[in-house]
């Protein structure tokens, strides 16, 4: 029997929060639909959602009272926290900060790399910097991820 390893995805907090954003812009609606599609495949057990300590820190800082509760519930039911080497994660995040990423973005990427997970974000700045190279994992928007994985 073949050894099957489930695909892993790392949705950063920006992507996870997309359904809570103002849906009047077409891009936001499309990204929301893509996030919902990814979450549907996670619920079906086809993809594993990886989270890190950075998720908890960022979610706890959200001012809206309902959004963090819903996000924590979502993560509690769907997410897996990988066994991260925090020292290694910090060192890699510092490298990424030195390459121009913000501290939270760098930490998300460092943990996605450790977990061997594709990184999904709605953050244009992170995507631009990621396209310049230096990331050790695939990184893109929710829509790009759905296209790459053939999610329907």
2 part of a folded domain:
no
- Percent share of the chain, pLDDT over 90: 82
Q: Containing domain of residue 107, as a range?
A: 7-149
CA-CA distance, 124 to 89, in Å (whole number)? 23
Q: How far apart are CA 143 and CA 124, in angstroms?
A: 13
Number of structural domains the chain divides into? 1
Average pLDDT taken over every residue of the chain:
92
- 124 in any annotated domain: yes
Which is higher by pLDDT, 141 or 65?
141
pLDDT exceeds cutoff 70 at 1? no
CA angle 9, 96, 14 (to 5 degrees): 45
| Range 24-51 average pLDDT | 97
95, exposed or middle or buried, with CB in 10 Å at 0-12, 13-18, 19+?
middle
Q: What is the mean pLDDT of residues 57-62?
A: 94
pLDDT, average across residues 50-71: 93
Calculate mean pLDDT across residues 40-58.
Answer: 95
**SS3 at position 7:** strand
Task: Collapse the DSSP code of 115 into the 3-class scheme (helix H, G, I; strand E, B; otherwise coil) and give the result.
Answer: helix
CA–CA gap between residue 119 and residue 76 (Å, rounded): 20
Is 52 domain-assigned?
yes
Q: Give pLDDT tens digits for 102-131.
A: 899 999 999 999 999 999 999 998 888 877
Domain annotation covers residue 1? no
Q: Kindly report, residue by residue over 91-102, the tens digit of the pLDDT.
A: 999 999 998 888
- Determine the pLDDT at residue 93: 94
What was the pLDDT predicted at 4? 59
Region 34-43: what's the mean pLDDT? 98
- The CATH number for 107's domain is 3.40.50.1010
Name the DSSP class of 10.
E
pLDDT at residue 87 is higher than 80: yes
- What share of the chain in percent tops pLDDT 70? 97
Residue 59 belongs to a domain: yes
Looking at the domain assignment, is residue 142 inside a domain?
yes
pTM: 0.92
Q: Going edge to edge, which strands form the sheet with 7-11?
A: 79-81, 47-51, 7-11, 118-120, 139-140
Residue 135, in any domain of the structure: yes
Of 66, 60, 55, 56, which Cα lies nearest the Cα of 120? 55
């Amino acid at each position: 029997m073949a050894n099957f390893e489930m695909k892993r995805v790392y949705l950063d907090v920006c992507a996870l929060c997309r359904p809570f954003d103002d849906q009047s812009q077409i891009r936001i609606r499309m990204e929301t639909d893509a996030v919902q599609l990814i979450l549907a495949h996670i619920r079906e057990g086809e993809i594993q959602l990886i989270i890190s300590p950075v998720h908890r820190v960022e979610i706890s800082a959200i001012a809206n009272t309902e959004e963090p509760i819903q996000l924590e519930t979502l993560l509690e039911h769907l997410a897996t926290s990988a066994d991260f080497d925090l020292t290694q994660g910090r060192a890699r995040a510092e490298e990424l900060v030195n390459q121009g990423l913000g501290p939270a973005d760098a930490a998300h990427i460092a943990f996605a790399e450790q977990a061997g997970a594709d990184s999904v974000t709605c953050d244009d700045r992170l995507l631009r910097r990621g396209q310049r190279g230096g990331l050790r994992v695939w990184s893109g928007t929710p829509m790009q991820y759905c296209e790459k994985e053939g999610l329907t």
